[in-house]
Amino acid sequence: MSDRTLIVGNWKMNLNTSEASVLLHRLEERIKAHQDIEVVLAPSTLVIQPLSLQIDRHKFRLAAQNAFFKDEGPFTGEVSFTQLRDLVHYVIIGHSERRLHFEESLGIVRDKVAASFRNDIIPILCVGETQSERRAGETRQVLHDQVTSALSNLTANEVEDMVIAYEPVWAISTFGGILAKPDEVKKEMDFIRHQVRELYGAKAAKRVRVLYGGSVDDQIVGGYLEIDGCDGVLVGAASLNYHKFAGIVDRAYHINRQPKEKPNEPDEK
């Protein structure tokens, strides 16, 4: 767990090796290292190795977008957490694109979270409801099922270290891109923490980092970062544009510098 604002760029299946290197170079020119902000880049698996040699580790950490839950063996085409463990700090697990396009079940996501901890990689677990689930009033049930199954068999210490990203599928730019209102997002983030508290207690619920993702860019990121209990953002399309992604980091920096509102103190009698 950390008090730093976490900004994660998910490049998805974009950029070849040289394009990824150019984007990293531009980001390194534009983004300064800030003590209270952690910036994580999640490129495609193909380019993790070359970027790991180029990256300025004072500024950025690397994440994988996926990995397979077995550590080694006859699984043609897969890359394991074990193979990634010295290259990345985080792995994104259970992204809606994997749940929907690759039919990743609750059980597979749970096994990937366990494999991630087994290999000393911090999972960024993605949860979120589809538009039809939302319309059917099933959001809480979906979040409950996704959180409780993914977190089964963990220790409270592991849960404290992990990251959960609330990404309503209908808000993701390529799935519809409807902008979620920060007050609605806050309710679901609170619900996610509530689930963690039920399973692992108040300390884990307080320490687990909860992010928001869904069409976040430099113009609207402030509304989400200002949510009480929001530890950062998971950014898709805007993370491929260095102006926008650097703008998101700038915004986080300025928000962190705003004086925090003091809680009302009881009048002294």
The encoded tokens of residue 125 equal 């677990």
Contact 116, 122 (CB under 8 A): yes
Contact 91, 64 (CB under 8 A): yes
Give the whole-angstrom CA distance, residue 242 versus residue 258.
24
The encoded tokens of residue 142 equal 């979906």
Give me the least distance between CB of 238 and ligand 13P, in Å please.
Answer: 6
3-class SS of residue 181 = coil
What are residue 9's DSSP bridge partners?
Answer: 41, 235
**5 near ligand 13P, judged by CB under 6 A:** no
State which of residues 94, 168, 232, 236 lies at the interface with ligand 13P (CB under 6 A). 236
Note if 167 is an active site residue. yes
Give me the least distance between CB of 127 and ligand 13P, in Å please.
Answer: 12
Kindly write down the DSSP assignment for every residue of 82-134, as one continuous string.
HHHTTT-SEEEES-HHHHHHS---HHHHHHHHHHHHHTT-EEEEEE---HHHH
Give the whole-angstrom CA distance, residue 20 versus residue 1.
29
Contact 212, 190 (CB under 8 A): no
Size of residue set near ligand 13P by CB under 6 A: 14
Note if 34 is an active site residue. no
Give me the least distance between CB of 118 and ligand 13P, in Å please.
Answer: 24
Give me the least distance between CB of 76 and ligand 13P, in Å please.
Answer: 27
Give me the least distance between CB of 171 and ligand 13P, in Å please.
Answer: 7
Nearest CB to ligand 13P, comparing residues 195 and 214: 214
**235 near ligand 13P, judged by CB under 6 A:** yes
Give the whole-angstrom CA distance, residue 178 versus residue 187.
17
Nearest CB to ligand 13P, comparing residues 156 and 227: 227
Burial class (CB in 10 A: 0-12, 13-18, 19+), 34: middle
**Mask 204-223, x = binds ligand 13P (CB under 6 A)?**
---------xxxx-------
Give the whole-angstrom CA distance, residue 83 versus residue 157.
24
Nearest CB to ligand 13P, comparing residues 106 and 220: 220
**Mask 156-195, x = binds ligand 13P (CB under 6 A)?**
-----------x----xx----------------------
Closest residue to ligand 13P: CB criterion: 236
Nearest CB to ligand 13P, comparing residues 185 and 205: 185
Give the whole-angstrom CA distance, residue 245 versus residue 268.
47
Per CB under 6 A, which of residues 63..102 are in contact with ligand 13P?
A: 95
Give me the least distance between CB of 165 and ligand 13P, in Å please.
Answer: 7
Q: Which residues bind ligand 13P (CB under 6 A)?
A: 10, 95, 167, 172-173, 213-216, 234-238
* Active site amino acids: 95, 167
